[in-house]
Amino acid sequence: MSAVTTGAAPRVALVSGASRGLGLAVAERLLAAGWSVGTFSRSSTDELDKVLENWPDTFSWTPGDVAKDDMRQHVRTLQERFGPVDALVNNAGVLHQELFLTMPEQRIDELLAVNLAGPARLAQACARQMSVRGRGVILNVSSINSLRGFRGVAAYAAAKAGLDGLTRSLARELGPAGIRVNSLVPGYFETAMTSQVTDENRVRITRRTPLGRLGTTDEIARVATFLLSDEAAFITGQTITVDGGLTC
């Protein structure tokens, strides 16, 4: 973990949607590695409050909605508290499993707004600040739904595939400004988002996973921390899948 801050002052990360699940695991890893971390989500959670208690000087949360707010304001709020943003983890997301033929049109708009348009606006707000300083890292949290077809997740999958396209294009555009951009592609992880998955399906996913088990949220957090660190200084424009081999 020490590699994260090697040769540099403690860094500042914005992790959207770190009130629970993968985002909170990433925030905790970064905090333990010496980063200052800001997050926002629509609501708070008990687990978030505990982490805020443990890291009162380096962790902050504000209420916010990635689909509706002015993302520049979230970046400004973080800058006022900890300084300019060195890294963005575009993690906030939402999944509604619903068949495409019967899905209300409005739901399609919502899924694209939270999982694609909002993250794109947040990436822009951060990248503008990073480009002035000539350095920065953006990590877009995608999904294996962007790589393989699954029933009932068409709009979500389209948004996540869009995020991967954003990653590659931004890597080209922002590389000369010293900004790296990658997608982190989780397989199946047990969080609030996947709480509707039945025991039967969980067993099926485990059986189809070459490593023969489900991953832990900390295994995502470790890869995220690596991709933000200087250890990954020559990695940009990539989609890094962490799924125990499920999609191989």
Ligand X SMILES: NC(=O)c1ccc[n+]([C@@H]2O[C@H](COP(=O)([O-])OP(=O)(O)OC[C@H]3O[C@@H](n4cnc5c(N)ncnc54)[C@H](OP(=O)(O)O)[C@@H]3O)[C@@H](O)[C@H]2O)c1
- Report if residue 214 touches ligand X, rule: CB under 6 A: no
- State the minimum distance, in angstroms, from the CB of residue 130 to ligand X: 21
Find the shortest distance in angstroms from Cβ 242 to ligand X: 9
- Binding segment (CB under 6 A) for ligand X, from list 49-57, 72-80, 91-99, 205-213: 91-99
What DSSP line would sit under 77-136, residue for residue? HHHHHH-S-SEEEE---------GGGS-HHHHHHHHIIIIIHHHHHHHHHHHHHHHHT-E
Crossing angle for the helix pair 71-82 and 118-133, to the nearest 10 degrees: 40
Q: Nearest approach, Cβ of 162 to ligand X (angstroms)?
A: 13
Which one is catalytic: 59, 82, 156, 189?
156
Q: Using CB under 6 A, which of the segments 29-37, 73-81, 89-97, 204-212 binds ligand X?
A: 89-97
Cβ(137)–Cβ(227) below 8 Å: yes
Shortest distance, CB of residue 226 to ligand X, whole angstroms?
Answer: 17
Which of positions 102-121 make contact with ligand X (CB under 6 A)?
Answer: 114
Q: Give yes or no for residue 91 binding ligand X (CB under 6 A).
A: yes
Tell me the C-alpha distance between 182 and 193, whole Å.
22
Piece in contact with ligand X (CB under 6 A), picked from 101-109, 131-139, 147-155, 184-192: 184-192
Q: Which residues contact 62 (CB under 8 A, 6 or more apart)?
A: 38, 39, 40, 74, 77
The tokens of 170 are what? 């931004």
Asked if residue 162 binds ligand X (CB under 6 A), the reply is: no
Residue 44 token pair: 């708070």
Start-end of H helices in the chain: 21-32, 46-54, 71-82, 105-112, 118-133, 154-174, 199-208, 217-228
Q: Is 188 known to be catalytic?
A: no
By CB under 6 A, tell whether 21 contacts ligand X: yes
Site for ligand X, rule CB under 6 A: 16-17, 19-23, 41-43, 64-67, 91-95, 114, 141, 143, 186, 188-189, 191-194
Could you list the active site residues? 156
